Amino acid sequence: MPARFITFEGIDGAGKSTHLEAVADRLRATGATVLCTREPGGTPLAEALRDMVLHRPMDALTEALLVFAARRDHLHQLIVPALSRGETVLCDRFTDATFAYQGGGRGFDTAVLRRLEEAVHGQLQPDLTIWFDLPATLAAQRRAAARAPDRFEQQDIDFFDRVRRGYLERAQAAPHRIVRIDASLDRDAVWHQIEGALESRQW
């Protein structure tokens, strides 16, 4: 079975993490060896950088540099070796999130982000990105009921509207890779959309 790299994207509260495990179970049932991970994070160094990004004040450039540093270690230590072994890697967020949060939300220069993207992982892109699209107001309601907010989740609705637009721009630039899921629907309806995206690729 060929190696596959699948990422899950969306603003906080969109429900992507819930469905990642369901996709892992589905793929394992077909005989795939599946590795589940997240960004920022996935390795001891990347997890330490994640804690800094989520909880310490910093400007957008520092955020972007730390996120890409975490990503570099994550790729080198975990993702690329797993793909080389023929495994399927499911990752909760990847570079699309950086363009959405730091580029869209923070308004940081996307040309700089593209240079960092090229330096950190070159031509390596996910085989499929499942984007859980959700209005910012609904996502805020879900977050409030779920957990204490981190530094990003404390941002206002306008911030998350910009993040959502950042994801939309990425999706429009890579329609072959990024599949939009209407995450405002109930859980079964969301799963049906995900199944359709997998079945269209005969996965």
Query: Per residue of the chain (203 residues), what is the pLDDT tens digit?
Result: 689 999 999 987 777 888 999 999 999 999 999 999 999 999 999 999 999 999 999 999 999 999 999 999 999 999 999 999 999 999 999 999 999 999 999 999 999 999 999 999 999 999 999 999 999 888 777 766 556 666 676 777 899 999 999 999 999 999 999 999 999 999 999 999 999 999 999 89
CA distances from 68 to 64, 126, 157 (A): 6, 16, 25
Instruction: For 2, list phi and psi in degrees, rounded to 5.
Output: -70, 155
Q: How far apart are alpha carbons 17 and 165 in whole angstroms?
A: 21
Instruction: Report the pLDDT value the prediction gives residue 37, as an integer from 0 to 100.
Output: 98
Which strands sit side by side in the sheet containing 88-92, from one edge to the other?
Answer: 34-38, 88-92, 4-9, 128-133, 178-182
Domains, the chain: 4-200 (3.40.50.300)
Instruction: Report the pLDDT value the prediction gives residue 128, as an integer from 0 to 100.
Output: 98
Instruction: Report the pLDDT value the prediction gives residue 13, as an integer from 0 to 100.
Output: 73
> For the whole model, what pTM was predicted?
0.93
Instruction: Report the pLDDT value the prediction gives residue 14, as an integer from 0 to 100.
Output: 75
Cβ atoms 42, 78 nearer than 8 A? yes
Instruction: Report the pLDDT value the prediction gives residue 167, as an integer from 0 to 100.
Output: 97
Instruction: Give every CB contact of residue 124 below 8 A, 6+ residues apart in sequence.
Output: 5, 75, 80
Instruction: Report the pLDDT value the prediction gives residue 15, as an integer from 0 to 100.
Output: 78
Helix (H) or strand (E) holding 59: none
Instruction: Report the pLDDT value the prediction gives residue 137, as an integer from 0 to 100.
Output: 85
Strands (DSSP E) contained in 12-150 are 34-38, 88-92, 128-133
Instruction: Give every CB contact of residue 125 below 8 A, 6+ residues apart in sequence.
Output: 5, 95, 174, 177
